[in-house]
Amino acid sequence: MQDNELAELGVAAAAAAIRDGDITSESYAAALLRRARENSELNAFITIDESAVLDAARDADKARAAGAGAPLLGVPIGVKDSYATRGLRTTLGVGTLADFTPDEDADAVGSIKDAGGIILGKVNLVEMSFGLTGHNSRYGQVRNPYGHDHVPGGSSSGSGASVAARLVPAALGGDTVGSIRVPASLCGVVGFKPTTGRWPRGGVAPISHTLDTTGVLARSVEDCALIDQVVTAGVSATRSARSDRSDLRGTRFAVAPRQYMELIDPETEAQFENALLRLRDAGAEVVEIDLGEDFSALADRLTWNLFFRETRESVTEFLRQNNFPVSFDDIYSELKPELKEVWSHLVLPSGQGHLPQEAYEATLAVERPELQRRFGKVFTSGFDALLFSTTPCPAPPIEHRSKFTVAGEEVNDLFLAKNTVPTSGAGLPGISLPIGLSGHGLPIGLEIDAAYGHDRELLDLARRVESVLDTLPAPA
């Protein structure tokens, strides 16, 4: 196979080709490394150890020749640089850790390696995973493969860009308010956020212990499902009774336009409506619902309150438990000015916007359960999933990443997570699928959310939805 053909292989396809002897892990890894070098202007990676990757690929080929058949044997993937990786530097996106190499792998990385996978490199991210546009003052702005002057989303910026650009078939990411699903949507790939707590989070730099989840970006639902099975050791791996159907007959989808389409880019809305038409044509029932006048305000308030209130405690404990050679104060002192200002106001206990303890407890005891109740009612009412546009607009230009216009209204970068925030607040599983391109060739995504803990059912349903949608062309 030529490099371009090798680069198009997904995780499952590459694993099968290596297992069957059609390709070698070394030839596959070498092709991906060449592509990573050729596409260095994307700033998708912070660290790649090429010799270590090729050594691991040769070892995989020897293991295959000796009869090994691990599910990911010889397949390289990317890892967000918020995950600790043994023997490979881990920066969390900050200059304070530019020379730090951990002694242990994050739990999810260990699972990938145990399944025969190879870590191709550490992908770029926003400092401490705080941001949605891919801007990193130390390691460079990540660029969108479908438009290099546009943002890739964040905070798993390099994960989305590297998968879309065919530098890796999949990449691990992290999601607190949308940091897997937003870059998946803007970069035209599949992004799976598991139910909060389903995937292990050990060894991954946190923001909020209530909201954080690890997850994966790939180019197909099949590949996300394979990685999910590896990382969870097959937890709840049984498929739903309808998973083998090639159509969507008997499936009921809910849509909530009042909550998710109040302000939306016209092209995004048109692509979303076209996707709903395709689902109906495939036999699905699509029903409009209303989640309540105060739904968006409730979801925004509780999610962002937890996001900022839990950062200091979560980061401090993570650094201590994982033997990182810095303190919270060390990291804070070196943050880029705009992020340092946010932390000063909202994260530090001395900040004017810091959430008081009583309000924090009410957020956990009253507001979050109420949001979960609203979502729960959707799924107990006979709906299989909730659908909405993952982001309300395509990727804005890097030049205007902080403030841009959607449908004539000026918004800021937090608007990119407007639709993903409620899912995170409730801890639900969600997956973003590409549904088309804007007139400027920028991807648009559809999110599918399922009931809490119903991850395998969600993945099975997403496979069927994917089968009725068009496949995006690779970026030029």
| pTM for the full predicted model | 0.97
Task: Please provide residue 97's backbone torsions phi and psi, each rounded to the nearest 5 degrees.
Answer: -115, 25
Nearest CA to 183 out of 420, 427, 455 is that of 420
The number of beta carbons lying within 10 Å of the beta carbon of residue 278 is: 15
pLDDT at 235: 57
Whether 82 sits among the annotated catalytic residues: the reply is no
389's enclosing H/E stretch is strand 385-389
Q: Which of 129, 155, 185, 424 is catalytic?
A: 155
d(CA 415, CA 409): 11
Q: Which of 25, 80, 162, 208 is catalytic?
A: 80
Helices assigned H by DSSP within 310-365 = 311-321, 328-333, 337-342, 357-362
d(CA 417, CA 47): 27
* Token pair 């970068």: residue: 413
Whether 377 sits among the annotated catalytic residues: the reply is no
Q: Report CA torsion sign: 315, 320, 99, 55.
A: negative
pLDDT at 154: 97
Whether 155 sits among the annotated catalytic residues: the reply is yes
Distances (CA, A) of 105 to 54, 57, 179, 255: 19, 19, 21, 40
- Domains of the chain (ranges; CATH) run 3-467 (3.90.1300.10)
The pLDDT averaged over each successive group of 10 residues in the chain (476 residues) is 95 98 98 98 98 98 96 98 98 98 98 98 98 97 98 98 98 98 98 98 98 98 98 62 67 98 98 98 98 98 98 98 97 96 98 98 98 98 98 97 95 98 98 98 98 98 97 95
Q: Which of 129, 157, 159, 179 is catalytic?
A: 179
d(CA 43, CA 124): 7
